[in-house]
Structures are given as structure tokens and as C-alpha cells.
Structure 1
Amino acid sequence: MTVAQTRSTTTNKTLAYPLNAWYAAGWDHEVTRKPLARKIADRPLALYRTEDGRAVALSDACWHRLAPLSMGKVVGRDEIQCPYHGIRFNSAGRCTSMPAQETINPSALVPSFPVIERHRFVWVWLGDPAKADPNLVPDMHQVDDPEWAGDGKTIHAPCNYQLVMDNLMDLTHEEFVHEGSIGNDALSQAGFEVTHTDNTVTLTRWMTDIDAPPVWAGYLRERFPDYTGKVDRWQIIRFEAPSTICLDVGVAKAGTGAPDGDRSQGVNGYVMNTISPETDRSCHYFWAFMRNFSVKSQRITTQTREGVSSIFAQDEAMLKAQQEAIDANPDYEFYNLNIDAGGMWVRRLIERMLEAEERLASVDELRH
């Protein structure tokens, strides 16, 4: 694959957010009977659970004086009470009670958004509710599959969400940002293949007969304590629109068939990432590291979660510095290299989603 080393006209620009899509609003354990405030794609939300445990997402602004509903409390079966004047709204956003009034103003409602729980996340749909197809929730099944074990955290990243996706689609940065842990010089030397569909991008990279990076050498010893030889390493990065990237990663004893599909002599991990834009300069970065070895070991789960958290802290520092440099140089246009091919396709698919939503909006305007 060859990409011309030319300036891009788009890759440093802030992309808007497709709204006809599912975004993770939080981990399932974060959404409780106590309202949670979270902004997704510039939309402040109040998240809570009904008495029967169903997750709800309402606009975080009371119909009356725009007081944040997330500062209020959940009452009764499914209602949230405004903290300012006590007005109550049900899970559909319809007002159910007003102070000192028997008659409820029929216009008293707040927007309610479709919600679905899957893969340990609460997902919200901010666009046309008629298009909120549960089948469009990104595939992150390893997060709650009993054959995989692991855990994750959330990073409140001080950068545009697209910069996080650029980072994840090009793992050659591991050689430099994560030297001494998961990086080694085989990354930038290895070739790769990029394929795509209408809503996915997949980048595949194999590095055969190499020294295992320190972290992966440690994981391999969990299964094969006496093995110290070379490994075959893989990184298969899959983007699913609008902002989920899952990394199929691992190492196996060199020459034992991993490139041909036999991973029995290795260890496999999935780095699950879904990024929800907050504003054009901040995002919620939800991640988990899942593994298929020593699945009953809480020690490895905790050690891995904290180890990956330390590695991702290095990414966070770089992304923050990059966003600050972009803000300081608003007229600068990025250069694209071969290693940017995956990220460029991601941006292209997002742009297509935005164009499709603009066309639908234009059609609706003509109809009205």
C-alpha cells in the first residue's frame, strides 16, 4: 500500500459528529438511581435508571428554566424531579407534575433519547429515533463473553475524538510513545493491509520471527513459563462507525502457525475502544483489555488493567499536546504518510455519514 506524502485538506479539521449512530454514554455500573450528567456530541444528558432497572437518557435541562435535571433526584417508578422547582418528568420526557398547578402545560416536556444496554455499556442515539436500530450497536462482545476476561476504564481525553481514532488506527506510534512496554522497532518495519466496507475499516499487520515486547513476553510466560524464543506478533485493528475501534492483538511462538490461523501456541488480547465526542476538543474514551488466557485470575485482570492504564496515560499526554498544537496553528494542514491509511479511511467514512445526514435534513426541509 502506498499513500502519497502530501498535505491533506481535511485531516486536521474538526469533524462534526454523526447523530444517527449509537454512542457509549457510560459504563452500565455508572448509571444508577442517582442521576448522572454526561455530555455527548455537545448534548448535555441526564442519565438514570427506572425502578425496574431500565436506563434512561433525557436532555439535561428542565422545560421550565433550564435547570440541570441531573442535579435533581429520581422519584417513584421512573420520574426525575427538577432540583429547582420540583417539576417532574417521566422516562419519555413528559411532565407529570407541576408545583401549585393542577393543569399541566401540554408543551412541558424534555427530549428523551433511545437507549440500549450492551457489552457493559449504556448506548444512546441522539439522531432520528426512528432510525435507532439495535443491530447497529458496535460489536464489542468480548467485553462480556465468559471465554474472555478483563476490565477497563474511562479516559476524559482533552482532544477532539478524531485524534484518538487516528492514534488507534496507527499503532506504529507504540515504538516511540510506548518504548519499553508494548513497543519495538518491528512495528514501523512491518507492512500492513487496509480494507474497508461502507461502515468498517480493517488494518492488518503481522510481524514474524521477532523479539517479543516486554509486556507480551510476560503474557506469553503466563501460558508457557519456559519459552524465551522469538514470536510471531499480530495487530488486526477494526473500526466500526462511528467511533468504535477493536484491536485483535497477540503473540505466539514463532513458526507455530499463527499467521495461518492457529493461535494455540500463543496469547490473544482484545483492546476494546469506543470514543464518544463530548465537544470538539474533548471526548469520553472508554476502553477495556480482554484476554483469553488465565481467565480466572483476578491478579492478572487487575495488573493488566492498571498496566494498560499507565500505557494509555502516555497517549493521553501526547493527544493533549497535539490538540494544543492544532489550536495554536489553525491554518496548518496535516501531511499524510503510508501509516495514516487506516485513519484516512476512518475520516472518509465519517464524512460520508455526515453527508448522508445533511441530505436527509435537506429532504425534510423541502417536505415541510
Structure 2
Amino acid sequence: MAITAEREEPVSDAKSFPMNSWYAAAWGHEIGRALTPRTICGKDAVLYRRTTGEVAALEDACWHRLLPLSLGRLDGDQVVCGYHGLVFDAGGRCTHMPAQETINPSACVRSFPVVERHRLVWIWMGDPALADPDRIPDFHWNDGTDWVGEGGTFYSLKCDYRLVTDNLMDLTHETYVHAGSIGDDAITRTPFEVTHTDRTATVERWMEDIEPPPFWACQLASTGRSGRVDRWQIILFQAPSTVVGDVGVALTGTGARAGDRSQGVNGCFLAAITPESETSCHYFWNFVRTYRTDDAELTKQLNLAHVNDGRGVYDQDHAVLEAQQTAIDRNRRQPFYNLNIDAGALWARRLIDGMIAAENGAAPQPRMAAE
């Protein structure tokens, strides 16, 4: 797929994320019997776990004087405002007002649909009538059964969430940003294929008969194997903001491309990227694997390979993404220019644009070619 001198328009003030979508709000283990504030898509929510075990989410602003409800406390399954003691149930309805018996029927805060699935809590910030749980992204690799990994989160990462999807849909950056671990010149030399549906985009690349980069050489050695490998990267984007990367290596010529990966190591990186604002996001990540799944020490080592006081793979991406956002903010009228390697990221953005346009009842704007 050739992309010749194509550019994206400069940053605009239009909303960059669809509201009618499921977004990851927290890891399930993070939500308990405490009030947890979270800003998602520019809206403030407070999450907590009810006595039944279900997660509830309310607008984080009291109906009375707008104090964040997250500064209050729980009383059973209800939230007590920390300012004047108004009480709201899990559906957002006020059940108590101080110094009066009559409760104003308009005294409600918004409740948000939430579903706990794939070890994450998913929230719907748009029209609740459209909140179909079947539209939650497929993230089954995160369930902790066939694939094992712990993962973590960059909360309030200071960049537009779409910059993260750009980063993950174009792995040629590994050659330069992650040269000492997963980077390899073979990535930039090898052709790739981009396919798409109305909700997904996929980038597939096979690098055959190469020396494995340091990270993958180490993982292969941990299973008692060494030598030249066939390496794969199959990256799936699910609109608007989840990315699943099927990655790994197997000894050259042992049938990995045909489906037999038994002579190698198979991993999967998972990313659920949730807009916090137009220029910040929450980045839920994990690296899961199908090899040595009972090795807790390996799980810890792999987490450190990705996040480790600035030295991990995701730490390196973190620095690049925030620096990129700073430059964008300083050059608001400067457009992006696209290369052939951006094909997957461009399809991801087109899908996002289509979702936003559909919400607004408009057709997505075509991208312009540079003169």
C-alpha cells in the first residue's frame, strides 16, 4: 500500500474521541470498598464496588454544590457527599437530604453503565441506551487462563490517546526507540500487509530467517532453544482504542507461519487506551505469554522489561509520546505527514473518525494530499 505525500490536517478543536464506546476505567482488582475517581472522555466519574460485588459508577459531582462525590464516603451501597451529607444510591438517585423530609425529585447524578470483563472494568460515557455489552472489545488474552501476565497502567499519560494507537500500529519505531531490546533492522526492511473491516484494522509482518533481537533471544533461550528465527508481528486494532499484538519468534523453518509455533515463544501485548482529555489518556497495558506460564519470576521479569523506572520498553514509548504531544501543542497548525509505514495507523484513525462522524450525524472529512 503506497501512501505518497499524504498529510493529516493540523490539530483542530473538534472532539477526538467517540463517546458511545466502552473504555477501560480500571483493573478489576483496583476497585473495592473505596471511592475511586477517574476522568474519562472529559467527564469525571467515581467508581466503587457494591456489597454484591458489582461495580457502580456515578458522576463525580454532587447535585447540591458539585463537590466531587469521591471526597465523600460509602454507606452500604450508597455514596454520602462529604460536604452536606446528601446520599445517592448506585443508580444516582438521591435518597437523603439533610434537615428535610421531602427529597427534590430532580436530585440525581448520572450513573454510567459498567461491565467487568477480561480483568478490566469497562465504562460507557455516552448514551446509556446504546451501551451494548456485546460491543466490549475482545480482550480475552487478558483473562489469565491460556495466556499469563500481570500488566499495569500509565494513568494520565500526557498525550492524545490516538498517538498511542499510532505508536502500536507502526512497529518500525522499535528499530530506533527500542534498539537494545526488541528493535531490529529487519522490521524496517520487511514488507507488511494491512487489512481492515468496519471496526478493525490489522497489520501483519513476517521476518523470516533472521537473528533474534536481544529480548526474543533471551525468551527463546529460556525454553532451551537458540538459533535463527522467523519473527512475526500481527497487530489488531479494535476501534476506537484497543490494540492486541500477536508477537513472537520460532526457529527458522519450523512452520510458524503455517500455524505451528511449538518451536518458539509466543507473546501478546495488550493495550486499552482510554481518553482522559483531548491531550491525556489512561494506558492499560499487559504482556502475556503461552510459554512457562507457571513461572512467577518470569512474569515479574517481563513486567520489568516493559516498565522499570524509565528503562522499560513502555517507559521509552512513554517518553516519546509525551514529548510528541508537547511538540504538537507548541505547533498547533503544523500538519502530520504520512509514510507507507503509517498505513495501519491511518486505517485506525479513519475508523475513529467514522465513529465520531456517525455520532455527530456527519460524514467523516476526507484527508488531504500535500501539494
Match of 1:273 among 268, 271, 274: 271
Equivalent residue for 2:351? Answer: 349
Give the deviation of 1:15 after TM superposition: 4.9
8 Å CA contact 2:235, 2:243 repeated in 1: yes
Amino acid at match of 1:204: E
Equivalent residue for 2:368? Answer: none
Equivalent residue for 2:150? Answer: 151
Give the deviation of 1:11 after TM superposition: 7.7
Is structure 2 residue 7 aligned with structure 1 residue 22?
Answer: no
Q: What is the CA–CA distance in structure 2 between the aligned matches of 1:307 and 1:86, rounded to whole Å?
A: 47
Q: What is the CA–CA distance in structure 1 between the aligned matches of 2:10 and 2:19, rounded to whole Å?
A: 20
Corresponding pairs, count: 357
Equivalent residue for 1:302? Answer: 300
Equivalent residue for 2:365? Answer: none
Q: What is the CA–CA distance in structure 1 between the aligned matches of 2:343 and 2:5, rounded to whole Å?
A: 11
1:34-91 CA deviation, whole Å, 9 max, x = no partner?
0001000000100011111110110000000000001111112x10110111110000
Is structure 2 residue 32 aligned with structure 1 residue 56?
Answer: no
Q: What is the CA–CA distance in structure 1 between the aligned matches of 2:168 and 2:40, rounded to whole Å?
A: 20
1:69-128 CA deviation, whole Å, 9 max, x = no partner?
01111112x101101111100000000111111110000000001000001100001111
Q: What is the CA–CA distance in structure 2 between the aligned matches of 1:179 and 1:290, rounded to whole Å?
A: 21
Amino acid at match of 1:297: D
Identity, % of aligned positions: 54
Cα distance change on mapping 1:13 and 1:269 into 2, 3 Å: farther
- Greater CA drift, 145-154 or 286-295: 145-154
Give the deviation of 1:3 after TM superposition: 1.2
Equivalent residue for 2:290? Answer: 292
Q: What is the CA–CA distance in structure 2 between the aligned matches of 1:272 and 1:331, rounded to whole Å?
A: 33
1:234-288 CA deviation, whole Å, 9 max, x = no partner?
0000000110000000000001111111111111011010000001111000001
Q: What is the CA–CA distance in structure 1 between the aligned matches of 2:344 and 2:52, rounded to whole Å?
A: 43
Cα distance change on mapping 1:358 and 1:269 into 2, 3 Å: same
Alignment of 1:129-148 (within 5 A): 129-148=128-147
Equivalent residue for 1:322? Answer: 324
8 Å CA contact 1:24, 1:121 repeated in 2: yes
Alignment of 1:1-368 (within 5 A): 1-9=1-9, 15-76=15-76, 78-156=77-155, 157-223=157-223, 225=224, 227-309=225-307, 310-359=312-361
Determine which structure has the larger helix proportion and give its number. 1
Give the deviation of 1:172 after TM superposition: 0.4
8 Å CA contact 2:11, 2:333 repeated in 1: no
* TM-score, normalisation: structure 1: 0.95
Amino acid at match of 1:344: L
Q: What is the CA–CA distance in structure 2 between the aligned matches of 1:307 and 1:11, rounded to whole Å?
A: 34
8 Å CA contact 1:5, 1:338 repeated in 2: no
Give the deviation of 1:145 after TM superposition: 4.0
Q: What is the CA–CA distance in structure 2 between the aligned matches of 1:308 and 1:66, rounded to whole Å?
A: 39
Question: Partner of 1:112: helix, strand, or coil?
Answer: coil
Question: Partner of 1:155: helix, strand, or coil?
Answer: strand
Q: What is the CA–CA distance in structure 1 between the aligned matches of 2:12 and 2:102, rounded to whole Å?
A: 53
Question: Partner of 1:142: helix, strand, or coil?
Answer: helix
Equivalent residue for 1:365? Answer: none
Q: Give the alignment's Cα RMSD to 1 decimal.
A: 1.3
Q: What is the CA–CA distance in structure 2 between the aligned matches of 1:72 and 1:6, rounded to whole Å?
A: 51
Q: What is the CA–CA distance in structure 1 between the aligned matches of 2:239 and 2:84, rounded to whole Å?
A: 41
8 Å CA contact 1:14, 1:280 repeated in 2: no
Q: What is the CA–CA distance in structure 1 between the aligned matches of 2:98 and 2:122, rounded to whole Å?
A: 33
8 Å CA contact 1:11, 1:347 repeated in 2: no
Q: What is the CA–CA distance in structure 2 between the aligned matches of 1:79 and 1:268, rounded to whole Å?
A: 45
Give the deviation of 1:6 after TM superposition: 2.9
Cα distance change on mapping 1:12 and 1:345 into 2, 3 Å: farther
Q: What is the CA–CA distance in structure 1 between the aligned matches of 2:314 and 2:58, rounded to whole Å?
A: 31
User: Unaligned 5+ residue runs, structure 2?
Assistant: 363-371
Amino acid at match of 1:92: G
8 Å CA contact 2:11, 2:332 repeated in 1: no
User: Unaligned 5+ residue runs, structure 1?
Assistant: 361-368
Cα distance change on mapping 1:279 and 1:230 into 2, 3 Å: same
Q: What is the CA–CA distance in structure 2 between the aligned matches of 1:205 and 1:13, rounded to whole Å?
A: 35
Q: What is the CA–CA distance in structure 1 between the aligned matches of 2:169 and 2:95, rounded to whole Å?
A: 47
Cα distance change on mapping 1:57 and 1:294 into 2, 3 Å: same
Equivalent residue for 1:366? Answer: none
8 Å CA contact 2:159, 2:322 repeated in 1: yes
8 Å CA contact 1:14, 1:160 repeated in 2: no
